[in-house]
Amino acid sequence: SRKGRKALVSSEEIFCVLEQYKSEIFDNGVLRGLTHKIWDSLSQELKNKIPKKNLYIYVYQNRYNFQTRLKELLKINDNVAVDEYESNSVESNDGSEKNLVSDGEKISYKVMKKNTWSDVVNDAFLLEYKLPCNFVYKRCKVRMNSANSQYFIHFEAKCKDCNNNLQGWSHNEPIKGHPLKLEIRTSDTRGHNLEHNSKRQLKGEKRKLIGSQLTTELASNWRRNRTSNMEFGSISPPNLYHTSVLRKAKQETKDHIMGISLKCPILSLVELKHTQFAGSIRSIGIDPFLVHYWSNHQVVIYKDLTKEYCSISVDATGSLIKKIKRTSLNLLSAHIFLYEAVVHTSYGQIPITQMLSEKQDTQTIQNWLTQWLLCGIKVPNEVVCDFSTALIGALTRAFNNSSMRDYTARCFDILVGKNEILPQCYIRIDVAHMIKLFCHIPYFKGIQNKKLKTFYVSCLRLILTSSTLNEFSEILTALLIVAKSETDGWVKDTIDTPAESSRLLLLEKIKNSTVENYADTVDTDDDNLNEYDDQEVTEETPNVIDEYLREIEIDADRKSKVQGNRISAFFLPGLSSVILRLSRYFPLWSGVMVSKFNSPNFIATSAPVESDFAELKKRILKFDLQPMTADRFIAKHLNALEGSSKLFRSSQLRNLYKTTQCQDLNLKKISKIKENISPETSDEPSNKNEKTKSSKSKDMSIYCNEAKKQDPITDEYNSNEENNTNKSFLQTSSCDEAENWYKGKKLNKYIVDHNSMVLDEYYSDETSVSSNSLKATENWRGRGNSEDPKLSKSKDRIIKKRFRKYMDPNQDIERFLNKKSTRSNLNSLIINGNIGTPLRMAKNKYLVLNTCPMDAVVAIIAMAYIDFQSYRNFIDSSENHMLNFSKKIALYGSTTNTYKERLIILKNIFNESKSISNLKIIDARCNVSFIVTKLLKDVPSAIENIKCSDNNCINKHKQIANMTIILRYTHNGFKDLQEALINYISLQTYNCAHCNGTISSTKILMDHIFIETDMYQEDSMFNLSEFPSEIKINDNNFTFCGLVAYHSDHYVSHIKRSTNVWETHKDLQKKNQKISLRHYA
């Protein structure tokens, strides 16, 4: 036979080396363990030709009789050694009895529980004496008969690093319930800490205990918390384990809890599907990886929810699941996404179906939704998602059995009256994703276009919130005209160009003024935007919508060519193509189909699914390292869903019980409401619940004359759509909700049901607008496998959270557009001269002090100019210096010229004094009445007509201008303000002081009225709700604008905006404040 390869080292050479170190290889006749340093020394003696593990095996298995020959040289009795060696291994028996024969007598003993007693003894010893040694314990014997033995318990140990021996014993058995007292003898190695590097093994009961502690704690935090007994400058003890050991123990504990025993995630999922989570994990795919899972509890919950109007949110997220390795080449899978459908109710929200998928195309998503529907459940009434064409295409195919193109075409036919059959499910796009998509338009990028971006995104949100097709057409046409027009202004200085009238129309709508066909609201963040490359939806769009948009574009092109007398600052021709491209799918993202589907949610939001993702990542998986393997994630997720389902079901049953109890009462109240509804009640504003406190002493309340206007509504919406919506709302809502709906209905605003959500924060970072075919893919954060064009990411993107910047009405839009860009965060209208710098004018330096009385009045006038069109017309036609000064601040904000103009105004009514440094000082300390009286002489609050009965009297015909109105206090306070004004202007007669005649006095209220409240109780506290929002005197309506409060020797203005929001303007602060309900002025 053929011989094998010659050994590197012969057996005799190995034995010669072993013979040299024979006394160190054995310890009391027992072979030393593999971790002892003697085996390293032996391997080095053989020039590392044989690893230390092989040397240990040679001796341990007695190959070439190495162990026998060495023991013969050391004169070790092999039988005794074997007995001793076996006595070392009895530690593995839990409480078993052993017999030891000594001098003909039989001694019985027990052994301690393996991997338990040594940790208890070692931890207590190191805590008390803080030795750095890593002791390895062995041979712990507990004598059953203390009379025949010296010790009740005895054990030995040796340090793994320095070979320091330790012996411990206890002479007597402890009394039951008392601690065991041990005596330990070892060398004091304190001071030699740096020579010790090894750590104790974490095993047995202690490993289980620490693993359970780490399930709700991080390994690094666990180590930090165990350093409380360490001193600064000391070395960590051997029982303070490394983070890698702790993490492994944590993983083993969690795997045991979740029932995971296999290393391969695919095989582990198959095991879980047929054992622990049978009935919840529905299907598993290998290549590409795919898992459908939802529990029976989720199905039961959803079935009950579909008995009423049910809206769900669908979205995907990544970064949760590790990629899967395949084949011997360790090929990695693509990114694995988690898909969820979440339902939201007034009493909570819960996911109803989930999928993990490596492939994110339309067909894969559709297959998941179709499999879910096969559980015998109904199609939801409404679905909200982001602008991912793959996701939208899958939703339309699964729920409406049509493509995205066919669905939008069918919706358009319904809008124009060609079709009356609605799709089974209302597919919508989330408002936050749409606003973010608007912000990603490249024409808005750059600081030079910051104001244009605010204007155009605010206009786009008007399109987004349009409720009828006519309203959508009007706003879209106006927006295209403004973007395409190179000039605006006037034709022949008298007629507005289409661009000018369209711009003014859009500004009025942004400010939420009462103009026809207006609906407002929405929200988004404003971050630096990615580039919007020529990314189009590649699927052929509906011809009917194309033709409709083409007609709008032709009309806008024709009107934009009208030449005006000035260059337009809003000229942005490239924007029109982007807007028209997005408008091809306007039934998906605008509000035009809300009334057709009778949806209670005017704004579409996917906030429920986004918040559920946040809950999953930040709370459920708080103590888990992400990404994690698929089997661990699904086990963890299903366990969490089990608890969530039980809690949600409890709330669902409670809500169902309450609804059943009051159902009969609700029907009676609703029918009574129907009988009592009148056209006038539907137009009354409902926001009358302000409860904030006012100051003790008020100087002035300001009302301006604002004619009440009706909001025009299209005939189609008023006669058909609104009635249908009202009917559905009454049939599905409680009596209190229906009553509030009718009382709070305002025709120029949309109605939001109590179940609809206000969107505050957005969790997903990317919107994918890709091809709507079966090959379209979901592209969360660019990790999908889409081959479609992507938005290129800006390298220096900075995310800034801004709340409700575009969706809320913006009354200050004109001031923002006209104000020069600065780096200041100042948003106060004007700053007090006390914190300002000296002004240079006519070679002199001036310092104006205590300007708060004037600043408070200016702030209220400026805000009234912005909010009310009739008051704006009044100021525009006035030549009063004070009013025009307030107008400039309203339009352009405060500049250096503003403060110089304030100086000129105050210089005329106050004296100036010189300081030592030739600085001229003007102290404007006064009350508000003095400012109004001196600066508003030609625009009084009221005109008093005096007529004496004696024709020869000087009071025969006389007019007196009253800059302010002084009213007497009544027991009802400001609630009787209207009655007090009526009495003020009523006819009064009294004896003439110049003759014996009788004087008849009548008063006429002017365009604004300033009311002095000095005659009211000085120390009283007035609630802001006591001030009436409107006062009707004869045929004139006066709207409350604000008040000036005085306290701490300072005047502050509290202004009520047209949106019923209170603001506090303090000229000593750089930012205005919104007043909360518990605010005290």
Domain shared by 252 and 311, yes or no = no
Please write the tens of the pLDDT for every residue from 351-374. Answer: 999 999 999 999 999 999 999 999
Does some domain include residue 397? no
Task: Let me know whether 270 and 250 are in one domain.
Answer: no
Domain assignment present for 994: yes
Model confidence at 672, in pLDDT bands (50, 70, 90)?
Answer: low
Does the residue 169 lie in any domain? no
Q: Is the pLDDT of residue 1 over 50?
A: no
902 and 826, same domain (yes or no): yes
| For range 126-135, the mean pLDDT | 90
- Measured between alpha carbons, how far is 343 from 313 in angstroms, rounded to an integer? 6
Q: What integer is the mean pLDDT of 1027-1055?
A: 86
Reported as a single tens digit per residue, the pLDDT across 245-258 is 999 999 888 888 88
Evaluate whether residue 982 is within a structural domain: yes
Q: Using the structure block, give the residue that is written with the tokens 């290998």.
A: 286
> Residue 177 above 80 pLDDT?
yes
Q: Are residues 961 and 906 in the same domain?
A: yes
Q: Are residues 252 and 275 in the same domain?
A: no
Domain boundary among 650, 681, 710: 650
Residue 447, pLDDT score:
52
Cβ pair 544, 413 in contact under 8 A:
yes
pLDDT recorded at residue 610: 93
CA–CA gap between residue 785 and residue 357 (Å, rounded): 12
pTM of the model: 0.61
Residues 333 and 247 reside in one and the same domain: no
| Partners of 704 in beta bridges | 1008, 1039
Q: What are phi and psi of 516, to 5 degrees?
A: -70, 145
Phi, psi of 106 (to 5 degrees): -100, 120
Percentage of the chain beyond pLDDT 90 is 32
Quote the Cα angle for 986-989-994, to 5°: 135
Is a pLDDT exceeding 90 seen at residue 758?
A: no
Cα–Cα dist 714/867, whole Å: 25
As given in the structure block, the two tokens for residue 19 are 């013979």
Determine the Cα–Cα distance for residues 159 and 867; give it in Å rounded to an integer.
84
853 and 922 share a domain?
yes
* Confidence at residue 820, expressed as pLDDT on a 0 to 100 scale: 53
862 and 1003 within one domain:
yes
| Residue 302 tokens, joined | 């959803």
Domain that holds residue 214: 203-226+242-258
What is the pLDDT of the chain when averaged over all its residues? 78
Check whether 815 has a pLDDT greater than 60.
no
Residues 6 or more apart in contact with residue 327 via CB below 8 angstroms? none
Alpha-carbon gap, residue 694 to 1017, rounded angstroms: 13
Cβ neighbours, 10 Å, residue 572: 20
Q: Work out how many domains the chain is built from and give that number.
A: 4
Binned at pLDDT 50, 70 and 90, residue 1064 comes out as confident
Give yes or no for residue 297 having a pLDDT over 90.
Answer: yes
Higher pLDDT, 524 or 464: 464
3-35 residue pLDDT tens:
667 788 888 888 898 888 888 888 878 888 888
Residue that is written with structure tokens 């971050």 in the block: 527
Among 354-358, 807-811, 870-874, the minimum mean pLDDT is found in 807-811
Same structural domain, 978 and 853: yes
Q: Could you tell me if residue 625 is inside a domain? A: yes
> Is residue 871, in this structure, part of any structural domain at all?
yes
Q: How far apart are CA 804 and CA 862, in angstroms?
A: 23
pLDDT tens readout for residues 704-738: 665 443 333 233 333 333 334 333 333 333 333 33
Same-domain check for residues 249 and 346:
no
1050-1056/183-186 β-pairing: unpaired
Q: Work out the widest C-alpha separation in the chain, in whole angstroms.
A: 155
Q: Could you report the per-residue pLDDT of 413-437, keeping only the tens digit for each?
A: 999 999 889 999 999 999 999 988 8
Mean of pLDDT values over 78-96: 39
Mean pLDDT, range 635-652, rounded to an integer: 93
Which segments of 96-222 are extended strands (E)?
A: 97-102, 105-111, 135-143, 153-159, 165-170, 183-186
**Looking at the structure, do residues 910 and 1011 belong to the same domain, yes or no?**
yes
Helix (H) or strand (E) holding 14: helix 11-20
Render the burial of 89-107: b for 16+ CB within 10 Å, e for the rest.
ebbeeeeeeeeeeeeeeeb
Give domain status of residue 490, yes or no.
Answer: no
The strand pair at 382-385 and 311-317 is best described as parallel
User: Residues with Cβ < 8 Å from 576, sequence gap 6 or more?
Assistant: 480, 483, 484, 553, 556
Domain assignment present for residue 975? The answer is: yes
3-class DSSP assignment, residue 244: helix
Q: Tell me the C-alpha distance between 1038 and 1008, whole Å.
A: 8
Q: Tens of pLDDT along 678-705?
A: 444 434 333 333 333 333 334 466 666 6
* Domain end marker among 52, 76, 100: 76
963: domain CATH number?
3.90.70
Last residue in a domain, options 650, 665, 688 = 650
> Do 254 and 341 belong to one domain?
no
pLDDT at res. 967:
80
What pLDDT, on the 0 to 100 scale, is given for residue 367?
A: 95
| pLDDT of 779 | 61
Rounded Cα–Cα distance for residues 268 and 631 (Å): 6
pLDDT for res 781: 58
Q: What is the mean pLDDT of residues 305-334?
A: 92
Of the candidates 319, 360, 316, 333, the one whose C-alpha atom is nearest the C-alpha of residue 266 is 333
Per-residue pLDDT tens over the stretch 1069-1078: 877 777 754 5
Residue of 113 and 854 predicted with greater confidence: 854
Q: Which helix (H) or strand (E) holds 129?
A: helix 117-129
